[in-house]
A and B are shown apart, each in its own frame.
Chain A
Amino acid sequence: MNTGILKFVLDGQIVEIDFNKVGFLPSTTVLNYLRSLHGHKGTKEGCAEGDCGACTVVLGELVDEKIRYRSVDSCLLFLPAIHGKQLITVENLAIRNGRETLLHPVQQALVEQYGSQCGFCTPGIAMSLFALFKSDIEISRHNVIHALAGNLCRCTGYDSIYRAALQAYGNRQPDQFEEKEPETTKLLQQIHAEGISLEIKTIDQIYLLPSTLTEAIEIRASNPQARIINGATDTAIRQNKTHEFLLALLDISGVDELKVIRRENNGFYIGAGLSIESFKAFSEKEMPFLLPMFDVFASWQIRNVASIGGNLATASPIGDFIPLFIALNARLELINHQGKRWVGMENFITGYRQNCLEKNELLLGIHIPYAGQGVVFKTEKVSTRRDLDISTLSIAMRLELDTHNKVQDIILAYGGMADRPKRARHVEKFMMGKTWSKGNIQEARALIENDFTPISDARSGSEYRMAAAKNLLLKMLW
C-alpha cells in the first residue's frame, strides 16, 4: 500500500488521479466523473441506482494476460474500483478518421434495426451489446435477454434492440479493441507493476483498497469505522440517493484470496469476494439447482461486480441468496487478526439489515455442504417483473425423503416475509414424518399464518404476500 494515485486506461492512455489535487472524493462514481469530462457525456444518468443501465460502461481487465470485458453500471461504481483497468465508454466504440466515422458492429446494427428512438438509453444499450459481442456467451433469446435485462428503454419496445443484438453477434469479427489489445495490455501491466493496492487519504475521506487478505484484516482492525464494500452496489445507492457521507471505506474487491472456489470438507467453499456472475458460472456445472435464482438476480452489470459476500452481509430481509443458503445449511467463515470462526447462515443475520460481524471481522467465505443422495433443493422468487426486480417474496427448500416418500428432514426458508429471511418452522414441524403429498402440503399451507405476519409496502400488499407464500409450498411439489 504505497500509492494513493488512482490509475486506469481511458481513451488509449493512462489517466492518473491524485485525490488530494482534485475537487472530488474517491467515492465519486465513475458516472459522475465521466460526466465532468469533455467528450464523455454519452454516458447518461437515468436513475442513479443501477435499475436502468443508461450509464453502462465496459471495464477491460487483465486476466491471464488477456483482457476480459465486463459491463457495469457506472452509477454504482466508485472510482477506485477501476484502478488498473481499462474504462471503455460509448465514445470509444467507433473509429474516427477525420470526418469519417466507422461504427462498431453493435452500433451499426442498432442504426440499421431502428434500435434507437429518443436515444437516451442508447449509449447504455450499445455498451451492453458491446459486452455481449466481446463475450463467449452462446447467442440465444435467453442470453440476449440476460445481457440486456439491465437496460431499460421506454421507446422501442425492445424488439429492434433484440434484432440488433442478433445482427451484431451474427457478424462477429475482430474489432478495434482486439487489434489494440497488445497496446492496452502493456498499459495495464505498467499500472499493475506498481502494485494494485491503494491507500487514498484526503481531508474528507479515506478509501483503502488492499490487494491481500492480510492487508485487509489489518485495515479492518485499525479502521473499524470504515464501511466494508465489495462491489458497492448497495453502498453506492445510499450515497447517490440519501447523500450519505462516507468518511472511510474499506474496499476488499481487489483481494484475490476472497475469490476462491474449492471443494472442502464434503462441500464447496465459496470465497466471499466472488462476483455473483463468477459464482453463477461455477454453479452452472456444480450446483445447477441455484440457476433459477441467478437467472433473476439483478442484472448482468450488477452481477459482474456485486459479490456473494456483499449480498449476504447486507442482511436484507429479502437478500436473494440468504434464504437459499439457509436451506442449503450453509455456514459462514468469519476472520479477524486473531483467528477464524464459523457461524450458520441463519445465525449470521441478527436483525433487520444487521449481521453478527464484529467490528474487526470480515466475512471470508461460505461453506455449502453437498446435498447427498435423495436430497431435493428448490427455490422460487416472486417479483413484479421477472428480470431486474427485487423479490416480493421468495422461498428455498431443502427436502430429505425416506424410501417411503416420508419427510425425514425439511428446511423451508422464506425471504420477504419478515424483518429478515426466516424459516417456516411451523410448516416444517408439521411436515416432519408425513408423506410428501399434495394433500399434506395443502393442509400445511394454513400454518404459514403462524410463521409469518408480512407487511404491505411499495412492492405488494400483505394479503398477496400471505397468499403467495402459501402457494409457494405447492410449487415445491414438482
Chain B
Amino acid sequence: MIESKDKTHHESAIQHVTGEAVYVGDMQMGEQMLIGRVVYSPYAHAEIVDYDLSEARKLQGVYAVLDHKDIPGINELNPMVHDEPCLAKEKVSCIGQAIFLIAAENEQIAHDAEKKIRIIYKLLPAILSIDEAIAGGNLLAPSRAIETGDPDTALMQAKHVIEGTLKTGGQEHWYLETQSALCVPGEGHEMMVYASSQNPTETQMVVAEVLGINANEVVCEVRRLGGGFGGKETQGNHVAAWAALLANATRRPVKMVLNRDDDQKITGKRHRFQSSYKIGFDDNGQITSYIVDMNADAGMAKDLSMAILERALFHAENAYFIPNLRATGTMWKTNLPSNTAFRGFGGPQGMAVIEQAIDQIARYLKKDAAEIRYKNFYGLHERNITPYGQPISNNRLLMIWDQLIESSNYYDRREKTSSYNTKNEYVKRGLALTPVKFGISFTTSFLNQAGALVLIYKDGTVLVNHGGTEMGQGLHTKIWQIAASGLGLPMRKVKVNATNTSKVPNTSPTAASSGTDLNGMAVTNAIAKLKARLQPCAAKMIAEQFGFTPKGALTYQNGKIFDLDHPTKSIEFESLIAKAHFEQISLGATGFYSTPGIFFDRNKGKGTPFYYFAYGMAVSEVEVDTLTGSVKLLRTDILHDVGDSINPGVDLGQVTGGFIQGVGWCTTETLRYSKDGHLLNHSPDTYKIPGIGNIPEIFNVSLLDKAPNPSVIKRSKAVGEPPFMLAFSVWLAIKDAISAVGNHKVEPLFGLPANNELVLLSIENIRSRHAAP
C-alpha cells in the first residue's frame, strides 16, 4: 500500500514491480494440469475433405484430441449471432481458424501431437481484400448511414469541392500478455474459468454454450489482464472455450496460453478501412457539405464489426459542425480472421478521413490547417447539433484550443518550421494540430449498465466487487478510491476483488472507455444502500454516547461517522459495524447503474447515443529524412479533458499511453499479407509497435483544469479511448513535412500508416511530379 505525496498509485503497482502479480499463465494447478493447444487452418478458404486424428491420439502424454464432433453443446463462439464455429466442421474461412484441440502433458508433446494429425483440404478461392469483397458483393450486413441537411445540394452549391480517398490500415493489439485461459472442472458440470477476458459474463456464456450446460454452472474469474485494448472483448472468449472443452473432456485442469506468433496469426485486428469523400467549402475554409463513404474489412465473421462501423459513422465529423453531411458505411466479409474491437472502436477510422480532408482544404486554400479546424469547430451555443441530432453541451474545444495554442507556442513554431524547411534540402519538418471529440457510452444502448457487490466484514474491512475488469487502465484503482471515500475509510481497509461472475452477474464488457463511469456508479449505489441500512444503528450509537440524536444523513470520514454539525462527536466505523452485526443488519449490498437517456434509432439515424463527449487536442512536430522516409518525433503538446480527474497519475498514463499507441498505428505498425492470405508480420521481429525511443523528445501532457463533468461519478470523464486519436497530430505533421518537399504546392499521396515506405514513396512522387515538364 503506497499513499505517498497524497497520491494513490496503481492498485497493483507493488505486485507489478515485484513480479508477484498473477496472470493466467502463472497459475499452477499441480501435476494434474494439462497444456492445451489449438490446431488451426493454414488456408484462407478451404474445404476439409478428410482428416485422421488416430496417430495423434495414440501419442504418450496426449490426453485428448478433439474435433467439432466432440463439442457437447453448441459449436459457436459468438453468443449473439451464431456465425463463428468454435471448431471448423466442413470448411475453413480464414488462416488461423480453429479445427482441433489437443490436451497434453506439456507443450512439446502437444506440438508433436499436432504434427501427427493428417488432414486433407480442397482449396477454395479466397477473398483477401476489400476491393475483392466489393467486386464479389460479399456483404457482411446491410450498409448503415447517418445524414443531416441536404449534402448533395450543398455540395453542388459549394464554392470549392475536393474529392479524395483514404486507406487506413489494420492494427495488431499486441497486449503483452497473449490470449490465455485456465479451466478447472468441478463437481457435476461445474467449470471454473480463469480468463484474460474483458468480458467475463460473455466468457461464462460462451463456455456454458459450448459445453451444453447452464450459466449457473460456470464461474469466470478475471484477476487482471496483461493488456486488452479491445482484443479481449470478444476474442478472449475463444481460448477460454477451447480450454473448457479440453478440461471437460479430460476432467483435468487445462491451461491454454497462445504463443505470440499464433496469437498474432489467429486473432482479429483493428478493421482496415478504405473511404472516399467529397467535401464542399467556401473561400474561408468553412465546410458546407461532407459526403463520405466508408468500406471496411470485417474478416470472416460478424464479431463486433457493425457496432464498430456505427461508431466510425458517429465520428465522421469529429469536432466539426458540418450542416450538410452524409456518412455511409459498409462492412465486407473476407477470408481473414474476424476483425474486432480496438481502442477507439471505429472512431479513429472515421475521424482520420475528415482530418485528412481538412488538411487538403488548407493546402488548397494556402492556409494553415489549424485555422481551418478552428473555424469549423462545434460552437458553444449554436452550430452545436451533431449529424445524428444530439446537441453538444459543455463543449470544451475552444477552451482547449486557447490554452494549447499558447502553451505549445503554435504560431511561432509554425514560422520556425517554415524557415527551417527553406534552409534544409533533405530534412523537412512538419507541424500539425488536431482535435478529438469522442462520444462516451456504448452505442449498443442496453450495454450501458453495471453491477456491484460491496461487502463489509465484521472487522470493518470492505471487499468491493464490480463488473469491470482491470487491464492496466487503473479501473480498480479508481473504484478503490471511490469506495474508500464513499465509506470514509483509509485505503488499507478497502480491497477491490478479482472480477467474478458469481459475485456480480450479467456484466457488460469493460470497453467503450466506460469502466469507471458505469461501475463507479454501481459501487456508489451499493454504498448508499449500506449507509441507509446503517443509519438508524449509527444514529442510535451517537445518541447513546453523546446524548443527542443526529438529524439527516451522517458523514463518513477518516474511519469515523458523525453529524456534520457535531464533527467531534463521532463513532468509529469498526464499532458501528460490530454493533450492526449484533443488531442483525445485512452488511452486504448489491449496486446497480444504468446510464439514463441513451437511445439511438437506427432506421432514422437519429438519437442521443452518447451520455457526453470527451475532448482533447495535440500539437506535434516531426522531422522527416526525405532520403529514407524515416521520421523523428520532436515534440508533442497534449491538453486533454478528463473532467475532474479521480486520479491524475492514472489519467495521464492513459492519455500518454493511448497517444503513443495511436502513434504506432499512424506510423510503424504495418500489416502485410502474402498473396494467399498469410500475415507476414506475426511477431515483434517484423511488427513494430513503438518503443521508448519513439516518444517525442519534448513531451508535454496536461489535463484540462476546471472542467468538471456534471452527473458523472466524481464529475470525471472517461479516458481510455479518446487520447488514441490525438496521434493524428503526428500523422498530419508527417504529411506537412512531406508537403514541404513540394513547397506545399502539390497534394502528397498519403495513407495510414505513414511508415517510412509510404513517406519516401510519397516524397519520390512529389519529386518526380516537380521534375516533370
Contact = CB atoms under 8 A, between A and B. Distances in A.
Do A and B truly interact?
A: yes
Interface of A: 38, 40-49, 51-52, 54, 89-91, 93-94, 101, 103, 107, 110-112, 114-123, 126, 141, 144-145, 148-149, 151-162, 241, 243, 380, 382, 384-390, 392, 457-461, 463-464, 467-468, 471-472, 474-475
B119 interface: no
Contact of B684 (A49, A123, A141, A149): A49
Contact of A159 (B108, B650, B656): B656
A229 to B, nearest CB: 19
Contacts of A475: 426, 627-628
A46 to B, nearest CB: 5
Given A119-B21, A126-B17, A160 B226 contact: no
Given A111-B17, A385-B691, A160 B261 contact: no
Contacts of A51: 683-685
A155 B655 CA distance: 10
Interface residues of B, number: 82
B23 interface: yes
A460 B758 CA distance: 10
Contacts of B772: none
A152 B111 CA distance: 28
Contacts of B426: 474-475
B17 A118 contact: no
Contacts of A44: 23, 25, 176-177, 226
A337 B54 CA distance: 51
Contacts of A121: 176
Contacts of B18: 42, 90-91, 93-94, 101, 103, 107
Given A48-B259, A154-B227, 12 more contacts: A42-B19, A47-B683, A52-B684, A89-B19, A101-B18, A110-B17, A116-B10, A122-B21, A241-B261, A384-B670, A392-B756, A464-B761
Contact of A111 (B2, B473, B474, B658): B2
Contact of A382 (B176, B628, B684): B628
Contacts of A107: 14, 17-18
Interface stretch (B505-513, B552-560, B577-585, B693-701): B693-701
B532 interface: no
Nearest to B723: A157
Nearest to B13: A111
Interface string B225-237: 1111100000000
Contacts of A115: 17
Contacts of A111: 2, 9-10, 13-14, 17
20 contacts: A44-B25, A94-B17, A103-B18, A107-B14, A112-B2, A116-B13, A118-B227, A122-B16, A122-B21, A144-B692, A145-B693, A159-B699, A159-B701, A160-B653, A162-B692, A385-B688, A464-B757, A468-B629, A471-B628, A472-B627
Contact of A386 (B22, B683, B694): B694
Contacts of A155: 176, 227, 472-473, 653, 657
A386 B16 CA distance: 28
B235 to A, nearest CB: 16
Q: Is the interface of A mostly helix, strand, loop or mixed?
A: loop
A387 B261 CA distance: 21
A43 to B, nearest CB: 7
Contacts of B12: 116, 119
Contacts of B756: 382, 384, 392, 464
Interface in B646-682: 649-650, 652-653, 656-661, 668, 670, 672, 680-681
B175 A154 contact: yes
A241 to B, nearest CB: 7
A120 B177 contact: yes
A114 B684 contact: no
Given A103-B14, A103-B18, A119-B15, A158 B26 contact: no
Given A51-B683, A122-B16, A153-B176, A158 B660 contact: yes
B630 interface: yes
Contact of B16 (A119, A148, A380): A119
Nearest to B764: A467
Contacts of B261: 241
B656 A384 contact: no
B674 to A, nearest CB: 9
A192 B18 CA distance: 30
Interface of B: 2, 4-5, 7, 9-10, 12-23, 25-26, 28, 108, 111, 173-177, 224-229, 259-261, 426, 471-474, 627-630, 649-650, 652-653, 656-661, 668, 670, 672, 680-681, 683-686, 688-695, 697, 699, 701, 755-757, 760-761, 764
Contact of A459 (B175, B649, B686): B686
A145 B760 contact: no
A54 B652 CA distance: 23
A472 B472 contact: no
A148 B692 contact: yes
A319 B18 CA distance: 37
B695 A158 contact: yes
Nearest to A89: B19
A119 B24 CA distance: 13
B9 A114 contact: yes
B689 A154 contact: yes
A117 B473 contact: yes
A54 B686 CA distance: 18
A144 B660 CA distance: 18
A454 B287 CA distance: 45
Contact of B692 (A38, A126, A161): A161
A298 to B, nearest CB: 11
Nearest to B658: A157
A412 to B, nearest CB: 15
A384 B176 contact: no
Contacts of A387: 691-694
B760 to A, nearest CB: 6
A395 to B, nearest CB: 10
A39 B681 CA distance: 34
Given A111-B13, A464-B760, A390 B653 contact: no
Contact of B23 (A120, A141, A162, A241): A120
B79 to A, nearest CB: 26
A275 to B, nearest CB: 21
A153 B701 CA distance: 18
Contacts of A154: 173-176, 227, 229, 657, 661, 689
Contacts of A153: 176, 692
A458 B23 contact: no
Nearest to B12: A119
B4 A112 contact: yes
Contacts of A474: 426, 627
Contacts of B628: 380, 382, 468, 471-472, 475
A460 B760 CA distance: 12
Contacts of A467: 760-761, 764
Nearest to B682: A458
B9 A112 contact: yes
B692 A47 contact: no
A157 B627 contact: no
Nearest to A46: B176
Given A151-B692, A156-B656, A468-B628, A122 B17 contact: yes
B14 A120 contact: no
A62 to B, nearest CB: 26
A157 B17 contact: no
B752 to A, nearest CB: 15
B627 A101 contact: no
Contacts of B691: 148-149, 151-152, 158, 385, 387-388
Contacts of A46: 176-177, 260
A472 B426 CA distance: 12
Given A156-B656, A157-B656, A49 B685 contact: yes
Q: Which 10 A-B pairs have the closest CB atoms?
A: A42-B19, A118-B472, A120-B226, A119-B16, A157-B660, A117-B472, A51-B684, A157-B656, A90-B19, A471-B627
Contacts of B22: 41
